Amino acid sequence: MEAKRMAVIGAGQMGHGIAQVFAQGGYRVSLMDKYPEALEKAKSRISEGLARLVQKGRVTEEEARSCAGRVSYTGDMNEALQGIDVMVEAVPELPELKKEVFRDADKAAPAGAVLASNTSNIRISDMAEQTSRPERVVGMHFFNPAPVMKLVEVIPNPRTEPSVVEYAADVCRKLGKTPVKVLKDSPGFIVNRINAADMLFFSLVVDAGVATPAEVDAYAKGQGMPMGPFELLDFVGIDVAHDSLQYFSKAISPEYGKAKSIARLYGEKRLGKKTGGGFYEWVEGRARIEQAAPTDKVTLMDVFAIEINEAVKLIEEGVALPGDIDTAVTLGMNRPFGPISVARSFTSSEIASRLNELSARFGCAVFAPAASIAGGKLREAIEDRKAEPKAEPKAEPAAQAKAGPVAVERLGGGVARIVLDRPRRNTINAEALDALDRAITELWDDRETAVVLVGGRGDTFSAGAELSQFFSNSVDFMEFSRKGQRVFRRLSELPKLTVAVMKGYALGGGLELAMSCDLRLCADETQIGLPEVTLGLVPGWSGTQRAVKLLGAARASELILAGRRMTAARAYEIGLVHAVFPPRDIEEAAVGYAKELASTVAPVSVMLAKRLINKAAEGGSDAGLEMEAASLGVLYGTEDLKEGIAAFLGKRAPRFRGR
Ligand SMILES: NC(=O)c1ccc[n+]([C@@H]2O[C@H](COP(=O)([O-])OP(=O)(O)OC[C@H]3O[C@@H](n4cnc5c(N)ncnc54)[C@H](O)[C@@H]3O)[C@@H](O)[C@H]2O)c1
């Protein structure tokens, strides 16, 4: 059944945002609040939100008007729930209040409607049990601000029908959100469970006099974080942190009740930004943070260990799968990487000893290592696996089901195609490099194939290396460069004619991939470039060496040193690409071109001629590659790299300091 009508109960910070998201998704939505002034405020917030979108050119005025017209406002629950398909409750985080809302909603909503809660922490079963339809009750946990944040955690209660979970996830996808299915109804679900341990830790650091909030925040900012943890606590609200920790202290362990600084501020009604003071004083919307030297008593490693520990507990308890935890943390906490990706760089004993030290130092069992970590089985615990069939009864739609990050397709007529198929504009990570390497091996001795097209799924080639991967030290970072170099060199040596099909973005590692092919076809409007120097990096997958060989030092400098994007026309002019096509024609043109080549060139001649060309282009290249990788090793430790990546992820201009 296709959802058409929605209701949101509670028109506050979250409720108005969720209603706006529904309206933008084309649904009719009634927004209900007990207080008329809350409805008034929600109405103006929604129209301000839509006006901002118009200003940014994201929607037209006409679209904004019709979007606003899809929201109706009411103070009456019966009216709000008439004829709806889905309700999302977003009243304050008070268990008794939420239960009452669910009792009323159950009476007022059509029998088939799905009743969802946007609770941050409370078990969904608490609400479901109040209704006559627990099988149609789920959690749909949006993040703040709802119109911006992509993540929605979808949570079943033990009696939820699997098809209802799928239905809710589907609604999220239609809203352009990324649903992460939580497998078990557990307090705080994924993101807030991990976040609660962080909050507890930072409070204990201050409680024990280990460091001041300003010292901790100075350290965090030095690590490239846009906001320190205490500034963030004030920003989100001390009451929100306090309520969560109190709930956890009852629902999971009394140890969560040990955060004294947070409890004290809460008792003093110093709730952070909203009351003008919390850990800091807030003036004109900004925290007044005194100058402080970054602490050396708290390290990122402490936070990593705590988050990895919580992630492993979630896996052990069957709350979530490793891959989903990373998706939820990156999207929900605005992080460049999640705890699972970080955990891959450490051993069980490294994490266990750090956790043992923290739990002893702060006398807090929340930090004691999870069973798998204590038992030396961290690696096994975080291994990615699929959900149990019973937890995932319905197959994902075909578009979601992916064979892997790189596909090999046989197109007939002596042509094969290697297709990069990755999220975020086909960005390339270590897994994609491995898959590309396998694809090269698969085609190496394939006598049926003479020409190999190399392209990207969808409307883009590749926007480059994934910048959200975690590397624990400069050696790993350097090895990641060498790995890319190795795979791209194998591609350049593949005894077939290789043709890159560039479209959308061919940036950084994406352009290095294209440059590792023999020929390059390009769609008009493709954004081409090696922007590494604007991020505090250098091209690391042989781009520095290949660009010079292909274009000469002067033109390579235009690409590498200026770091600017280049048009397809300019790339054609300097000989970087061999032909330019309109975007809608490129795929067909490329296949036609490849088939024609496959029928006209002699495979063995191509194989040998290619080796000769490669030979001719050689000269000091190994030393250059070694230096390229070593440069990345050096850059790993620079502040400019952290700043470059933080600015990129935060969508702001970097402030490089030359160190
Ligand atoms: N604010 C966040 O960052 C955030 C993020 C994710 C989830 N949440 C969760 O979303 C829920 C709402 O949080 P919020 O920040 O929007 O709170 P809020 O205080 O801004 O809004 C709550 C609204 O509910 C209304 N309300 C109170 N009782 C009601 C009733 N009986 N019937 C109808 N309306 C009623 C209030 O008038 C208010 O407008 C909470 O469960 C919270 O934990 C909050």
Q: In the CATH hierarchy, which fold is given to the domain comprising 191-382?
A: N-(1-d-carboxylethyl)-l-norvaline Dehydrogenase; domain 2 (1.10.1040)
Pocket test for ligand 1, best of 13, 77, 98, 331 (most atoms within 8 A of CB): 13
State how far the Cα of 498 lies from the Cα of 417, in Å rounded to an integer. 9
| Tens of pLDDT, residues 380-398 | 999 866 554 444 334 333 3
For tokens 């290249």, what's the residue? Answer: 621
Segment 459-505, tens digit of pLDDT: 999 999 987 777 878 888 899 999 999 999 999 999 999 999 999 99
The token pair that represents 150 in the structure block: 């992509």
Token pair of 199, please?
A: 């909050």
- Predicted pLDDT of residue 405: 93
Supply the pTM of this predicted model.
0.75
Q: Which helix (H) or strand (E) holds 117?
A: strand 114-117
CA distance 372 to 382: 10
Report strand pairing: 505-507 vs 527-529: parallel
- The yes-or-no answer to whether 5-181 and 191-382 have a common fold is no
Closest-CA residue, ligand 1 atom 39, reads 12
Report the distance separating Cα 257 and Cα 277, nearest Å.
Answer: 22
From the CA of 91, give the closest atom in ligand 1. Answer: 24
Q: Which residues contact 479 (CB under 8 A, 6 or more apart)?
A: none
Structure tokens, 111: 């029998």
Closest of 196, 185, 165, 184 to residue 123, by C-alpha: 185
The reply to whether 512 belongs to the active site is yes
Query: What does the pLDDT look like over 219-263, one tens digit per residue?
Result: 998 887 778 999 999 999 999 999 999 999 999 999 999 999 999
Top-level class of domain 406-584+602-649: alpha beta
Known catalytic residue: 40?
no
Spell out the domain ranges in the chain: 5-181, 191-382, 406-584+602-649
**Hey, which bits of 390-487 come out as E strands?**
406-412, 415-420, 451-456
Residue 11 alpha carbon, nearest atom of ligand 1: 39
Q: How many CA atoms lie within 13 A of 255 on its CB side?
A: 14
Give residue 81's pLDDT. Answer: 98
As beta bridge partners, residue 139 has 117, 155
pLDDT given at position 395: 39
Q: What is the average per-residue pLDDT within 108-121?
A: 97
Distance separating alpha carbons of residues 571 and 582, to the nearest angstrom? 15
Tell me how far the alpha carbon of residue 127 lies from the centroid of ligand 1, in angstroms.
15
Q: Which residues contact 553 (CB under 8 A, 6 or more apart)?
A: none
Q: Quick one: DSSP state of residue 583?
A: G
Determine the residue of 76, 79, 120, 234 to mutate for testing ligand 1's pocket, defined as the one with the most ligand atoms within 8 A of the Cβ atom.
120
Q: Provide the b/e sequence for 107-143 (b: ≥16 CB within 10 Å).
A: ebbeeebbbbbbbbbbbbbbbbebbebbbbbbbbbbb
**pLDDT on residue 397:** 37
DSSP 8-state symbol, 57: T
Q: What is the CATH number of domain 5-181?
A: 3.40.50.720
